[in-house]
Amino acid sequence: MKLLLHTCCAPCSAAIIEYLLQRDIRPVLFYYNPNIFPFEEYELRKSELTRYAASLGLEVIDGDYAHNQWLNAVTGMENEPERGKRCSACFRHRLSVAAKLASERGFDTIATTLASSRWKNIDQIAEAGQEAVAPYPNLAFWNKNWRKEGLSERRNILLKANGFYNQTYCGCEFSKQ
Ligand code: SF4
């Protein structure tokens, strides 16, 4: 499997990366999260992820901070509650950029760490992932429940063990309010 793993932050990624490495799957990480606001928060989350990836010798592809583009993708949904339509559009936006990059660079599978958080709706993420790979016949979305097989417990253990910065809101300005 040639896997591009879309990663949202270090706390959500560590247990998934560990799971993959234990099975001899070395993912390339893609940090593409233009939803995060403000920019300082974006940089902080990115530096935690890149620090962790470097300690494991994993490659990180750094996506653009295209926050205005992301705002366009969620226009009219600013007041939606979390787990509502804005979040679906947010997942679709991020995963469609990941799928495009994966296809261009010859990956055969994408997955995302988004679904590891219990605050997010797994079905919304799965739907966005399937939609994202639909235009690319040679690319699959790995629709795995990353909270099972003890992964949620490992998430919390690795968060503490690595002293990761643990954010207090999902990411966008609307979730911060
Ligand atoms: S609350 Fe989180 S998932 Fe929903 S739109 Fe904002 S950043 Fe995206």
- Domain boundary assignment for the chain: 3-176
Confidence of residue 161 (pLDDT cuts 50, 70, 90): very high
Residue 127 confidence (pLDDT): 98
**What would the pLDDT profile of 24-63 be if each residue is shown by its tens digit?**
999 999 999 999 999 999 999 999 999 999 999 999 999 9
CATH code for the domain defined by 3-176: 3.40.50.620
Residue 117 confidence (pLDDT): 85
- Cβ–ligand 1 contact at 170 (below 6 Å): yes
Using the atom order of ligand 1, give the atom closest to the CA of residue 86.
5
pTM of this prediction exceeds 0.85: yes
Give the C-alpha distances (Å, rounded to integers) separating 4 from 51, 77, 104, 112, 156.
18, 29, 11, 8, 23
Neighbours of 145 (CB within 10 A): 11
How crowded is the C-beta side of 116, counted as CA atoms within 13 Å? 27
Mean pLDDT on 58-75: 98
Residue 177 confidence (pLDDT): 80
In the numeric block, the tokens 């909270």 are attached to 147
Substitution site in 42, 71, 170 for ligand 1 pocket (most atoms within 8 Å of beta carbon): 170
Tell the residue nearest (CA) to atom 1 of ligand 1: 175
Residue 81 confidence (pLDDT): 95
**What would the pLDDT profile of 4-29 be if each residue is shown by its tens digit?**
999 999 999 999 999 999 999 999 99
Q: Tokens in use for 122? A: 């797994």
